[in-house]
């Protein structure tokens, strides 16, 4: 058994396998990933907390399955996101993180709630005459995509372009693809970086009240042009995909557990427990900068390591009876789905706000929501993300 997302069992439910690893091989060498995998909560957290030994350099663009030709095509354009905030170590990280954090103040995040609520209400108004929909395709994405686009400063007319490019980005770097498809996806990704580049140029000329203008104003002071382009392209990714994936996973879980609609006062903890048990993010990659000895295994310097937050979230030493969904589990929010340490997700508060708001609005407007009986439900094949391509529901 291995971390192989071409295998159905691994995508559907890797938890027996992960439990065996936690007990018997807490430092597992995955031949398939070409990486060591840490599965115990304490080890995963300690590795996140030690960025000097577990470096983030290149951690987001690890796809081992990229062909030489694809690498060349991306490389010619310097498109490995080598200066994206999640992909660098201190001191660059400290500087980049400081700049990004300026846009994610608690006040700025709280101010987005009203807009997000409206976006959800508007969408449900449009679905008012319907009794059935694809929750993932038709409900989960639109409000997050629109909120993120407005935050970044992407004009409404470009939203669908951006959304498609972001999907291609995800597929290229995080799921195994055949060689021809890789080249197609690489070209799509390059078009996307080009688009962001032009957006930055436009805001440099004529600033507005958006994230792109704020970051552009820091070029030459705190940030380089390249850093701003990579930051914006990847924040769009964070906003466009992770939150809707987490929402889809959460709604499916709540429906299956018979806990729909969730009473408003129980929503904040329900959101955490959904993230714990069906996290949209499965882990992060790191490279060791020195030899590490852990549980009798010697991990050489320069090795690729997967910190499995998915396994950590199911670690029975921290979360008793981990495969059971407990809506008021006292320590549900101790999951590591947003990472930990210096790279802890800068959008975590915004992500939580969206998930809580969406569950509240959806529960009130669609109290009779249920999955369409017999409709197939399968997670997409990805090493680091869990999400449903489709979830048919009725009400």
Binding site for ligand HEM (CB under 6 A): 56, 59, 85-86, 97, 100, 148, 235, 238-239, 242-243, 246, 280-281, 284, 337-339, 343, 345-347, 350-351
Nearer to ligand HEM, 59 or 177 (CB): 59
What is the smallest separation between the CB atom of 187 and ligand HEM, expressed in angstroms? Answer: 25
Nearer to ligand HEM, 322 or 351 (CB): 351
Whether residue 235 contacts residue 211, with contact meaning beta carbons closer than 8 Å, is answered with yes
**φ and ψ at residue 393, rounded to 5 degrees:** -130, 160
What is the smallest separation between the CB atom of 323 and ligand HEM, expressed in angstroms? Answer: 20
Nearer to ligand HEM, 156 or 206 (CB): 156
Residues 6+ apart with CB under 8 A from 151: 103, 112, 210, 211, 239
Nearer to ligand HEM, 14 or 387 (CB): 387
Query: Cis peptide leading into 167, omega within 30 of 0?
Result: no
Whether residue 2 contacts residue 382, with contact meaning beta carbons closer than 8 Å, is answered with no
Nearer to ligand HEM, 104 or 319 (CB): 104
Q: Please give the Cα distance from 13 to 257 (Å, whole number).
A: 17
Nearer to ligand HEM, 287 or 329 (CB): 287
What is the smallest separation between the CB atom of 186 and ligand HEM, expressed in angstroms? Answer: 22
Angle at 291 between CA 288 and CA 292, to 5 degrees: 85
H or E element, residue 30: strand 27-30
What is the smallest separation between the CB atom of 56 and ligand HEM, expressed in angstroms? Answer: 6
User: How many other C-beta atoms can be found within 10 angstroms of the C-beta atom of residue 125?
Assistant: 9
Whether residue 212 contacts residue 153, with contact meaning beta carbons closer than 8 Å, is answered with yes
Please provide the size of the chain in residues: 395
What residue has token string 């972001």?
166
What is the smallest separation between the CB atom of 283 and ligand HEM, expressed in angstroms? Answer: 8
What is the smallest separation between the CB atom of 183 and ligand HEM, expressed in angstroms? Answer: 27
Residue nearest ligand HEM (C-beta atom):
347
What is the smallest separation between the CB atom of 339 and ligand HEM, expressed in angstroms? Answer: 3
Nearest to 351 by CA among 151, 196, 135: 151
Nearer to ligand HEM, 18 or 85 (CB): 85
């Amino acid at each position: 058994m291995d971390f192989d997302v071409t295998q159905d069992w691994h995508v559907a439910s890797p938890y027996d396998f992960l439990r065996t690893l936690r007990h018997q091989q807490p430092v597992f060498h995955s031949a398939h990933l070409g990486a060591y995998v840490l599965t115990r909560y304490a080890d995963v957290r300690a590795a996140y907390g030690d960025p000097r030994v577990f470096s983030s350099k290149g951690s987001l663009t690890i796809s081992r399955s990229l062909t030489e030709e694809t690498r060349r095509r991306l490389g010619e354009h310097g498109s490995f996101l080598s200066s994206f905030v999640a992909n660098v170590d201190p001191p660059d990280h400290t500087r980049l993180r400081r700049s990004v954090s300026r846009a994610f103040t608690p006040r700025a995040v709280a101010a987005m709630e009203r807009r997000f609520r409206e976006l959800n209400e508007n969408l449900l108004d449009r679905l008012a005459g319907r009794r059935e929909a694809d929750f993932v395709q038709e409900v989960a994405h639109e409000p997050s995509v629109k909120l993120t686009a407005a935050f970044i400063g992407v004009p409404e007319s470009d939203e669908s372009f951006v959304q498609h490019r972001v999907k291609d980005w995800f597929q290229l770097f995080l799921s195994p693809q055949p060689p021809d498809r890789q080249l197609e996806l690489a070209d799509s990704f390059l078009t996307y970086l080009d688009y962001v580049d032009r957006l930055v140029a436009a805001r440099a000329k004529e600033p507005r009240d958006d994230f792109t203008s704020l970051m552009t104003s820091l070029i030459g002071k705190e940030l380089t042009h390249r850093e701003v382009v990579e930051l914006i392209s990847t924040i769009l990714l964070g906003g466009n995909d992770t939150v809707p994936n987490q929402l889809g996973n959460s709604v499916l879980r709540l429906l299956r557990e018979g806990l729909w609609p969730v009473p408003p006062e129980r929503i904040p903890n329900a959101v955490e427990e959904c993230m714990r048990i069906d996290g949209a993010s499965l882990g992060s990659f790191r490279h060791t900068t020195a030899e590490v000895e852990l549980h009798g295994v010697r991990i050489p310097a320069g090795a690729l390591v997967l910190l499995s937050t998915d396994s950590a979230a199911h670690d029975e030493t921290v979360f008793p009876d981990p495969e059971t969904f407990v809506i008021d589990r006292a320590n549900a929010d101790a999951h590591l789905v947003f990472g930990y340490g210096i790279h802890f997700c800068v959008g975590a508060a915004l992500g939580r706000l969206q998930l809580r708001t969406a569950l509240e609005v959806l529960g009130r407007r669609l109290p009779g929501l249920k999955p369409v009986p017999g409709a197939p439900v399968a997670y997409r094949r990805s090493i680091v993300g869990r999400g449903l391509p489709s979830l048919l529901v009725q009400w």
